[in-house]
Structures are given as structure tokens and as C-alpha cells.
Amino acid sequence: MVETIVMPKLGFNMSEGKLVCWYKKEGDEIRKGEPLFSIETDKTAIDVEATRDGVVRSLLVREEETVPVTLPIAIISDAGEDFEAERKAALSQLSGASLDGQAPAESKKDTSPPLPSSPSEKGWDYDVIVIGGGPGGYVAAIKAAQLGNRVALVEKDRTGGVCLNRGCIPTKILLRSAEALKEVRDCDSYAVSGVDASRACLDMVKLQNRKSGIVNQLVGGVEGLLKKNGVTRINGVGNITDANTVTVDGKAYTSAYIIIATGSSVKSLPIPTDSGMKVFTSDDMLSMTELPRETVVIGGGVIGVELAYFLVSAGVKVTIVEFLDRILPMIDTEIAGLAAKKLERMGVVMNVSSRVTRIAGDAVFFETGGGERKAAADCVLMAVGRGADTGGIDCETLGIKLDKGAIVTDASLRTSVPNIFAIGDVNGKVMLAHTASMEGIVAAEVISGRASVMNYDRIPNAVYLQPELASVGLTEEQAREKYPSVAVGRFPLTANGKSKLAGEDEGLAKVIVDTEYGEILGVHLWCLHATDIISEATAAMCLEATAEEVAMTVHPHPSIAEALQEAAHAALGKPIHFFA
């Protein structure tokens, strides 16, 4: 059977795709499920797999050509089968189409913002140079280009920064696998029979392959977006030699404005460490292909807790050692405490108010209230936080002010040098990817002459355990310190229908309100989909909605989001589906 492969339509608005590469050549055999080609759209890059076994008989378009959707690009058939008629028909279809991705000249309309006719109009090579291609840098570059600037992005590594390559996305891929493992083990509770879950375990090699595939697709998508928006990509390490010059591998580029988005690097404790012990950073842990038997996690912040959850879910014995008196210090104490108890029930051993003193032999030694103790391990995860990475930037010579190693910025992200901005982890304000992205947008708008400032009071936090934790605004303790009269509404997820039927009814929704005006001061969630639902709370707070307005907003039933509505009712003293 002869099959003509067409350029797929991967989205409602997709009209064309660029053929990035062929994974097979003419005459190669291919099996169903093997990748045949990779395409790039304006939003993403994706591998397309073969839908049948066969032989690649004809590749009709070249790599780097852009093809309208549904037009033929290749032919697959059984070995020895005549495919010439299908090939001629396909070529006929292609002959009348433009493969450069451009419409005919007479129909083209330029809707982009006006740009200077040449960079020299302002005396610089570029209007904006961004150093660093993470979630702050690439967003800043795209936004600046959309606002009419000539933009260059300097990146020494892969686009996407730590978040996309070694942080947010890889971590969540591992955590999703842990969730899938739990679902398989719990399948009997969902009335699923005929499944032997006793032997279910994670295949770390397959998991790493899945992680690499997803990360590669997302990186390709970001690179496509940069190209689509006209951002020039410069590969290498960027060094700022003066307020208007960035040097990359010995070549100087000038710009009216510079945005520093160099991110952060992992911290480590200065303690004696036995060379025989494997001490991993989060980067190392995210790339492991074999699970350890027992691990000590030093640090009870988001990174340490998320990876501890993954490891214990996979069957690893896990001990957390945290210097502070509790884990997840950025989360409301009540919510964080509930999550800690869940982790302990899963088998995680908690040691808070503990100071690690050394790593020796096969153990981590730490001081606690009861004296010195030790925890055995065959590897250690060092998760004590991250610090601003200003490598390659001589801040002292440039006159850029620092505070505890981070670059000082104002609400518009300007540094002490007026035309140099700093966004993301390097300014040390809120080390979250979504914060960096918004800072990038604000900086781009300010550079483009728009009035824009950051509001750090409305930035959500997210912790991807199961159930998830998410919060925005003040904790209960902070609210009671700042406001004379505070009401707290709580709604347990045991009373939520969607949580019950999903088999995960452990959790709590908590709304904190100023009783004088009804203003929502903070929202804290521990429930399924908390990291999605928190966006509703964030939007409500940004719009200065009251608890009554959230309570009177119709939510779909059954849904987890109803818990937020119910907690708002409770904050008003009139819970509907729960006896307070």
C-alpha cells in the first residue's frame, strides 16, 4: 500500500510548517512509531512519527523548506511496490505552491511595528542586546522586538536557560512519571481489574529519553519564536565592556540598551566532604539513569522537597536535613505543615532545625537539638538554593550596584547604570521563571518608552507535589502582623466532589481576607491542580476583587476550583458545603 505523507496541521491556526530535518533517507526502512521528520511551526518544534511499517520511497521537499499544511512531503510504501503515480501526483500539487513560506508579493501586508531603516540611525548595531536566553532573557528579547526594536540575544548554551533545560520542565517531567506510577499502583481503588501493579516501577532510561524529547521540542519552539520575531541569535559568552558594548568571543557589538539575564548557579555548603560520597546538584539528579537506594537531601526548599517526593515515590529511602524549623518556608505554615506530614507518611524522614557539619563515609552528619546525628546514604543531593550568576560582568568597573551578590534594580528593572537592566535570578528578587518572564516584559516596555513597573506582591508560588501546593499574597502570619483585623476561610478537599472521585481528597484551600474592606490578602492551596487554580486567585487579587466577589463567581461543578469559591464563602463566615 502506498501512503503519501503530508505536512500535518498541528493547531487551529497553523497554516504552514518548516521541514527541519529528515530522520530517514530514501530507500530506508521505517517502523511504525519511529520518527520520520521534524517540523517547526511558529510556536513549537516537534518530531512526527511514521504511522506504518514500510520503506521511504521519496522525499519530496528539502530540509529548511516551508510547506503549507496538507501538502505532500514524502511517500512510503511496501518494498517493491510501484509508487510512481502517487509521486507524480504529489509533485503536481507541490508545483503550484510556494515552498519558501512567503505569500505572493502583491498580497503581502506588513503589520509589524515600524523599525528604523538601519541600525546606524541610532548609532548602534542594535537597539537592545539581551545577555542570557532563559525564561527572562528570551521573553525580553521577543517582547522588545515586538515593540519595534532591533534585538540580539547572546546565549552560551541552549536556549531556555536552567528552567527549560535543567530546572522547571525536567523536574516536572520526573514528577509526572511519579504520579503515573502512583496511579498504576492505586489502579485497584479505581475499580480497574486485570492489572498486576505489584511489579510496577520506573524505567529511568525511558524516563530520561522522554525528558530529552520534551525538552528538545520546547527548546526548538523557543528558537523558532525568536527567529519568527526577528531576534538575532549570537552564540557565546557575553561580556559587557562598557555601558553600550557587549563582546562575544572577541567581537564587539554595540547597543543603546543592555538587558542582563544571566540567571543563577547552584550553591553548595562549605563543609568537609568525603571524596567517596556522590554529592549531586539538582542538575545531576535530573539526569540520573539509575535510582539510589537511600539519599540524604540537604535543604528543604522547593527543589529539595520536589526531588525528595520524586525519589520516595520511586522507592528510594529519603532523609531531608533542613537548617530552618520547617520545610518550604515560603509557603503558609499551616499548608506547609500538612504537606510535610504527607511526605512523612510516604516515608521521608524529616530533620528540621538541623545544621549539616560534614559528609563522611556513607553518611551525612548534622547537629540538631539532641546533639550530633547522622543519616546513611549512598548519595547526597545538595539543594541549599541558588545564587545570582554575574560571571562575565565586571559590575564594579561598570558601576553596577550589587547587594549580597545580586544586581540591584528598581521597579522598572533598571540598574544603577540607566541604560542597563537586570532581570530574573541575577537580580535576586524572586527566583522564579514566571517572575523572570514578567520582568523581561516590563524591561522591554520601559526601554520602548512605555510606563511599566513590576508588582512583586502578586507573584504566585508553586510546588509540584501530589497534591500540589500553590499560593499568592500574604501568609496568615504576615497578614495578622500587617492588618488589625483578618478573617481566614478554610475548605477541606474531603468535602470537594471532584477531589473525592479523583481519589485524592487530601488537601486544604485557604483564603485570607482583610475584614474592613473584604480585600483578599492571600490565597493558599494544597489540592489537585493547585498550580492551575492559583491563577484565578492571582487575577482576582490583581483586579482587587473582594472575597464576596470570588464567592459569588459561578464555578463549574464538579471541579477542584470550587474549593477556592467555598473558602471565600468561609472567609465571609458563611460556608456552604462545610461546617466550619
Q: What is the pLDDT of residue 65?
A: 87
Q: What is the pLDDT of residue 451?
A: 84
Looking at the structure, tell me whether residues 84 and 23 fall in a common domain: yes
Of 548, 393, 550, 525, the closest CA to residue 462 belongs to 525
Confidence of residue 12 (pLDDT cuts 50, 70, 90): low
Catalytic residue check, 557: yes
Domain that holds residue 510: 467-571
Residue 444 counted as domain residue? yes
Looking at the structure, tell me whether residues 246 and 148 fall in a common domain: yes
Residue 578 counted as domain residue? no
Residue 272 counted as domain residue? no
Instruction: Identify whether the C-beta of residue 368 lies closer than 8 Å to the C-beta of residue 354.
Output: yes
What is the per-residue pLDDT across 141-173, written as a single tens digit (0 to 9) for each? 999 999 999 999 999 999 999 999 999 999 999
Looking at the structure, tell me whether residues 131 and 149 fall in a common domain: yes
Per-residue CA distances from 237 to 154, 343, 391, 488 (Å): 7, 41, 9, 50
CATH number of the domain at 516, please: 3.30.390.30
Q: What is the pLDDT of residue 114?
A: 39
**The last residue of a domain, from among 349, 368, 384:** 384
What is the per-residue pLDDT across 126-142, written as a single tens digit (0 to 9) for each? 999 999 999 999 999 99
Residue 521 counted as domain residue? yes
Looking at the structure, tell me whether residues 302 and 224 fall in a common domain: no
Q: How many CB atoms lie within 10 A of CB 486?
A: 20
C-alpha cell at 4: 503519501
State yes or no: pLDDT of 43 exceeds 60. Answer: no
State yes or no: pLDDT of 334 exceeds 60. Answer: yes
Beta strands in 331-378 (DSSP E): 349-351, 355-360, 363-368, 371-376
Looking at the structure, tell me whether residues 479 and 444 fall in a common domain: no
**pTM of this prediction exceeds 0.85:** no
Out of 36-40, 382-386, 428-432, least confident range: 36-40
Number of domains in the chain: 4
More confident residue, 101 or 284: 284
**Active-site residue (options: 555, 557, 569, 577):** 557
Residue 181 counted as domain residue? no
Residue 497 counted as domain residue? yes
Looking at the structure, tell me whether residues 492 and 346 fall in a common domain: no
Looking at the structure, tell me whether residues 239 and 136 fall in a common domain: yes
C-alpha cell at 23: 530522520
CATH number of the domain at 220, please: 3.50.50.60
Handedness of CA 183, 184, 188, 194 (dihedral sign): positive
Residue 508 counted as domain residue? yes
Looking at the structure, tell me whether residues 375 and 394 fall in a common domain: no
What gap in Å lies between CA 428 and CA 426, rounded to an integer?
A: 5
Confidence of residue 97 (pLDDT cuts 50, 70, 90): low
β partners of residue 30: 54
**The last residue of a domain, from among 367, 384, 401:** 384
Looking at the structure, tell me whether residues 557 and 482 fall in a common domain: yes
CATH number of the domain at 15, please: 2.40.50.100
Give the pLDDT mean for 41-67.
83
Buried b (16+ CB within 10 A) or exposed e, 3-23: bbbbbbeeeeebebbbbbebb
Residue 304 CA to chain centroid, in angstroms? 16
What gap in Å lies between CA 359 and CA 275, rounded to an integer?
A: 9
Looking at the structure, tell me whether residues 285 and 356 fall in a common domain: yes
Residue 143 counted as domain residue? yes
Looking at the structure, tell me whether residues 367 and 402 fall in a common domain: no
Buried b (16+ CB within 10 A) or exposed e, 130-155: bbbbbbbbbbbbbbbbbbebbbbbbb
What is the per-residue pLDDT across 358-398, written as a single tens digit (0 to 9) for each? 999 999 999 998 799 999 999 999 999 999 999 879 999 99
Q: What is the pLDDT of residue 115?
A: 37
Out of 18-27, 115-124, 336-345, 526-535, least confident range: 115-124
Percent of the chain residues topping a pLDDT of 70: 94
Out of 84-88, 145-149, 487-491, least confident range: 84-88
Confidence of residue 79 (pLDDT cuts 50, 70, 90): confident
Looking at the structure, tell me whether residues 443 and 398 fall in a common domain: yes
